[in-house]
Amino acid sequence: MANFSENTFGARIANAEALLTHLKTFTSYAAPTPNITIENYEKLIQALKTENTGIAAKKLAYSTAVDIRTKLFFKEKDSVSKLMSPITAAVKAKLGKSAKQVAEITNLAGKIRGQKPKKDDLPPTDNSESKGKDPISQSERSYGSLTQHFANIVSTLTALNTDYVPANDSIKLTTLNNKLASIKTANNNVTASYGALKTSVTNRQNAFTDLTERTQRIKDAVKSQYGFQSTEYVLIKKLKI
């Protein structure tokens, strides 16, 4: 499957609109099938323009959701990765560095610090699946693991009961549980916004495939009706859609 840029999609729509404009001036154009009538071709172009606009909005929504989640884990002053040190220190101070719980939390904290995805999530492209790679899927697995590690830390701290009552508000159980809830919401928002974007990208690609097929049939119909040396055919034959 070809990989088209946003500019290419825009150019293809512009060429389709140019073909439509010419087609409307052709005397007695007779479409051999309903889907290549002037009316139906125009409807397809309009649907593609709407889909294209929608994709831009969905990309922004996805990018925003990704940014929120990344901040929760890594970029805010009280992000999960930055809370690992004070949490570990608080448990060590109470139980001693040789305690089993300290070892568990230290291990999980190390996984969180060392598992930051190398690249932020990228929106899907039309040839992402054909390359055999899905960076989104890989990122979701990473963030899923990070979320589980953090949940395990919160669970371990909760089990300590009165042995975990830190003075630092940012690492109190109530705060950590609230952050865990925010992370789960952020994960769900990334998944939902990616799903919406991916669906739109697929729909657009299918619609452009349809547009290309209909365009070729229209060119064939014009060549058949008016002749391959006709002005009508010459006007549209080189339009790439």
Q: Which of 75-79, 91-95, 124-128, 197-201 has the lowest mean pLDDT?
A: 124-128
Q: What is the pLDDT of residue 129?
A: 41
Give me the DSSP letters along 163-210.
G---S-GGGSHHHHHHHHHHHHHHHHHHHHHHHHHHHHHHHHHHHHHH
Look at residues 8, 2, 22 and name the one whose alpha carbon lies nearest to residue 215. Answer: 22
For 4-48, how does the pLDDT look when each residue is reduced to its tens digit (9 = 90+)? 566 688 899 999 999 999 999 999 999 999 999 999 999 999 999
Mean pLDDT of 208-216: 97
Q: What is the pLDDT of residue 114?
A: 80
147: DSSP letter: H
Q: What is the pLDDT of residue 8?
A: 86
Q: What is the pLDDT of residue 7?
A: 62
The kind and range of the H/E element at 108 are helix 100-114
Q: What is the pLDDT of residue 140?
A: 73
R_g of the chain, CA atoms, integer Å: 28
Mean pLDDT of 202-210: 94
Task: Kindly state the tokens that stand for 17.
Answer: 């609109």
For 88-127, how does the pLDDT look when each residue is reduced to its tens digit (9 = 90+)? 999 999 999 999 999 999 999 999 988 655 555 666 655 5
Chain mean pLDDT for the chain: 90
For 149-180, how does the pLDDT look when each residue is reduced to its tens digit (9 = 90+)? 999 999 999 999 999 999 999 999 999 999 99
